[in-house]
Structures are given as structure tokens and as C-alpha cells.
Amino acid sequence: MREYPVSELTGNEILAKPVCKENGSVILEIGTALKVSYKESLTSLNIQKIYVEDPFEKYEKVNFYFEPEIFLKFENDLKAILSQHIYRKDSGLRKLESLVKDLVTVFERTEEDRVLDIKNRTSDMYEHTMYITILVMLLGREYGFSRKRMEDAVLGCFLHDLGYRYIDVNYQDYSCRQMNTAELYELKKHTIMGFTALEKEIWIPEISKLMVLSHHERLDGSGYPLKQKNKEKECRMIQICDAFDCAVSGMETSQKTIFQAFDLISNKNKFENRMEKILEKKIGIYPAGTVVKTEEGKKAVVISQTENAQAPVILYTGGMQENHFVTENLNREKAPKIINII
């Protein structure tokens, strides 16, 4: 499955997710064979992107730190603990301690030089929380964090968006620039609300609480809620990782490509440059399944990553209906460069 621009429909693509109106009613079911004539209708409904079956999926090797089922188990356990805290107002948050230890243990067993694929993201809060936690652990490992310091940082990540459960505002695939003054004020309260909810939890380290409060602050003091210029590494880590993943997932902003997300966090005034450079080396600019064009004008699909995050292995398609394909590793001398994402 891959995301596909409606404007690029050529006909015969197979729908991998239902297409719905804003009110949730389904207008095209999974498995529908799409027609070129659908472009105009979908565009008129302000539907710009859809998900179609990926005919090259069997060739793709998605690179990540965890198997999907392991990632999903951690995500579901996290959701269960945080939801119980919100709806029952009890002290069940302390269950996060064992979840933190388990996640750090699993992470410690992963390969350090792996380049990650980040694809098919949604603006689900718990998925977002898991991804920024992994990115912060990645940075923590590069900075040589001790086991205890890593666990404290992971706990801060797990709790960072707790405040969203106390406010009422749409934050999914919806840019802050589209919000009126009241909506923006409500959204920005989530940092304070989350911190306040945790302030009296004496078992939570102060740095973890500070990460919750400051994850929207920026180096130049332009963030919120207090316009602080945090010097703590953990705070700077969650700031850049949250900004990056908000962009690719569509949290608090319109969803962006990996390339666009890196452009966002490359601002040296707002984010620590060394951290951005580390992430740039660790996350594939072109995730597996991305359809690209090379400088030779050839169309290809990314099928796996190499140790160079900007030079993946590609498969030349030569047209979606062909059955014979040629692969090429772009991480070599004189290999063609990718010039565009299709």
C-alpha cells in the first residue's frame, strides 16, 4: 500500500483504503479499480491523496527497529495505560515504568547503523508518541546516554502529549495556521495541562516532566508555552523529534513528506543542528515504496535502504504493467541521482 496523489491517477490502480467524505461516509470501497475519470470528482471533494495497492510491495524491504507486531503491542499497551489514567483518574500511570524498561531493552538489541523507513503514517496520537520515542532513543544512543537517562527520556516521550486528553481541538492533519485565535489558544494549553497533571507524581523524574512542558519550545525562544530556550539535551531532543514527526504524521499541521520534514527541522535557529544531522543520516529520505524519477528520466520505486540515507536501492518500473524489472543500488560511484518524487 502506498499514498498516491489523485492528480497522478492513470487508471487501473486498486484502492487499498476506503475513500471517505469529511462526514465519514464511504464513497469508494477497498478494492475498487480506479478510473481516470474519478480524478475530477475526487478533486471536487477536496480529496488530494488516496491509498492504492503497491504492485511492487513484494520487492520492498522496509527497514525499521522493530517488527510491526512488536511496535503495535507497545503502542496498544501505551494507549491502554494513558486512557485508563484519563478516564479513571487513578494512579495507573506508574505502569509506564515497566513499559519504558521493556522498550529500552528491545531498542538496545537493535542495529546501530540501520537507516529507517518511515512510511504510511497517520495522525494517531499514540502512533506519533511511539515514533518520537524511537527517534529520541536514537539520538540518546548517539549521545551516549546511560540506561537510566535513556529511560527518563523515554518516559518523557510517553507522557509528552498527555495534555491533549484534557482539551477539545482538532489537531489531526490540520495546520495551526488554519486555526482561529480560540482554537490556537486551546491547542497550546496541552503542554501546560499535561505538565500540571503530572506535577505531583513524585515518581516521575523532573527531566521527564520538563520534556512534557517544553516539547514545543524552540532554541530561539519562539516556541510555547513559556518561550524558553531549554539547554537540557532531553528537551532539545523531544523538540526536534516532535516537530519532525508532527510533520510526517499530520499532527498539528498538514501532512508532509520526509524531505519536507527535514527542511523544517534544518532551521538552526529553532533546532540543534547536530541532532538534525544525526536524524538525516538515520532516516531514509525516500522510504521504501516511494515512486521516484532519476536524473536519467527513468521512473523507479524505492525497495530498500542502504547505509546512505539519501541513496537507496531502487527498482526501475518502466511502466506499471511490466513483469520484468531491474534494480540498482544508488549508493555507489557514478550511480544516477534521484531528482524528484512522483
pTM comes to: 0.85
Are 149 and 75 in the same domain?
Answer: yes
Q: Going by C-beta distance under 8 Å and a sequence separation of 6 or more, which residues neighbour residue 143?
A: 233
- Contact 204/215 with Cβ under 8 angstroms? no
Picking from 103, 78, 96, 211, the residue whose alpha carbon sits closest to that of residue 153 is 211
Are 97 and 233 in the same domain?
Answer: yes
C-alpha cell at 164: 491533549
In a domain, 168, yes or no: yes
For residues 151 and 312, what is the distance between their CA atoms, to the nearest angstrom?
32
Question: DSSP secondary structure string, 48-61?
Answer: -EEEE--TTGGG--
- Contact 82/127 with Cβ under 8 angstroms? no
Number of CB atoms found within 10 A of residue 299's CB: 16
For residues 326 and 88, what is the distance between their CA atoms, to the nearest angstrom?
57
Are 41 and 164 in the same domain?
Answer: no
> Across the chain, what does the average pLDDT equal?
89
The dihedral sign for the CA sequence 34, 8, 27, 51: positive
Per-residue pLDDT reduced to its tens digit, 93-140: 999 999 999 999 999 999 888 899 998 788 889 999 999 999 999 999
- In which domain, by residue range, is 328 found? 291-341
In a domain, 58, yes or no: no
Tell which of 264, 282, 300 closes a domain: 282
Per-residue pLDDT reduced to its tens digit, 253-270: 888 999 999 999 999 999
Number of independent structural domains in the chain: 3
CATH number of 144's domain: 1.10.3210.10
